[in-house]
Amino acid sequence: MKIEKIEVRRLHLPLKNPFEASFGVLAKRDFLLISAHGEGETGYGESVAMPFPFYNEETTDTIHYMLETFMIPMVLTNKIEAPEDVSRLFEPIRRNNMAKSAIEGAVWDLYAKQKGISLAQALGGKRKEIDVGVSVGIEPSVEDVVKKVEGFVAEGYKKIKVKIKPGFDIALIDALRKRFGDSLPLMADANSAYTLDQMDVLKKLDQYNLIMIEQPLAHDDIVDHAVLQKQLKTPICLDESIHSAEDARRAIELGSCKIINIKIGRVGGLTESKKIHDLCEAHQVPVWCGGMMESGVGRAHNIAITSLSNFTIPGDTSASSRYWAEDIVVPEVNFLKPGILGVPEGPGIGYDINWRVVHALQVEEKSYTM
Ligand code: OSB
Ligand code: MG
Report the half-sphere exposure of 306 (CA within 13 A, side-chain side).
Answer: 31
Predicted local confidence at residue 73, as pLDDT: 98
Which candidate in 100, 113, 161, 163 is catalytic?
A: 163
List, as ranges, residues with CB under 5 A of the ion ligand 2: 189, 214, 239
Asked whether 114 lines ligand 1 (CB < 6 A), one says no
Give tens-digit pLDDT for 243-271. 999 999 999 999 999 999 999 999 999 99
pLDDT of residue 192 exceeding 90: yes
CATH class given for the domain over 5-116+353-363: alpha beta
Predicted local confidence at residue 90, as pLDDT: 98
ipTM of predicted complex: 0.99
Predicted local confidence at residue 248, as pLDDT: 98
pLDDT of residue 328 exceeding 90: yes
User: Residue 227: pLDDT band by 50, 70, 90 thresholds?
Assistant: very high
Q: Are strands 5-21 and 362-369 parallel, antiparallel or unpaired?
A: antiparallel
Domain spans of the chain? 5-116+353-363, 122-342
CA separation for the pair 355, 55 (Å, rounded): 30
Cis peptide before 166 (omega within 30 of 0): no
Counting atoms of ligand 1 from 1, which one is nearest the CA of 261? 2
> Which residues belong to the annotated binding site for Mg(2+)?
189, 214, 239
Q: How far does the centroid of ligand 1 lie from the alpha carbon of residue 291, in Å?
A: 5
Asked whether 193 lines ligand 1 (CB < 6 A), one says no
Predicted local confidence at residue 12, as pLDDT: 98
Which percentage of the chain shows pLDDT scores above 70? 100
What are the two backbone dihedrals, phi and then psi, of residue 165, each rounded to the nearest 5 degrees? -150, 160
Asked whether 292 lines ligand 1 (CB < 6 A), one says yes
For residue 364, which amino acid is it? E
pLDDT of residue 280 exceeding 90: yes
Asked whether 290 lines ligand 1 (CB < 6 A), one says yes
pLDDT of residue 319 exceeding 90: yes
pLDDT of residue 370 exceeding 90: no
Predicted local confidence at residue 106, as pLDDT: 98
The mean of the pLDDT values for the chain is 98
Predicted local confidence at residue 184, as pLDDT: 98
Asked, colleague to colleague, whether 5-116+353-363 and 122-342 share their fold, the answer is no
Q: How far does the centroid of ligand 1 lie from the alpha carbon of residue 1, in Å?
A: 33
Active-site residue flag, 203 = no
Nearest CA residue ID for atom 6, ligand 1: 292
What mean pLDDT comes out for the span 312-332? 98
pTM over 0.95: yes
Give tens-digit pLDDT for 115-156. 999 999 999 999 999 999 999 999 999 999 999 999 999 999
pLDDT of residue 43 exceeding 90: yes
What mean pLDDT comes out for the span 163-167? 98
Counting atoms of ligand 1 from 1, which one is nearest the CA of 240? 1
CA separation for the pair 331, 179 (Å, rounded): 35
Predicted local confidence at residue 240, as pLDDT: 98
pLDDT of residue 112 exceeding 90: yes
pLDDT of residue 229 exceeding 90: yes
Counting atoms of ligand 1 from 1, which one is nearest the CA of 19? 4
Residues 6+ apart with CB under 8 A from 360: none
* Homologous superfamily of domain range 122-342: Enolase-like C-terminal domain (3.20.20.120)
Active-site residue flag, 263 = yes
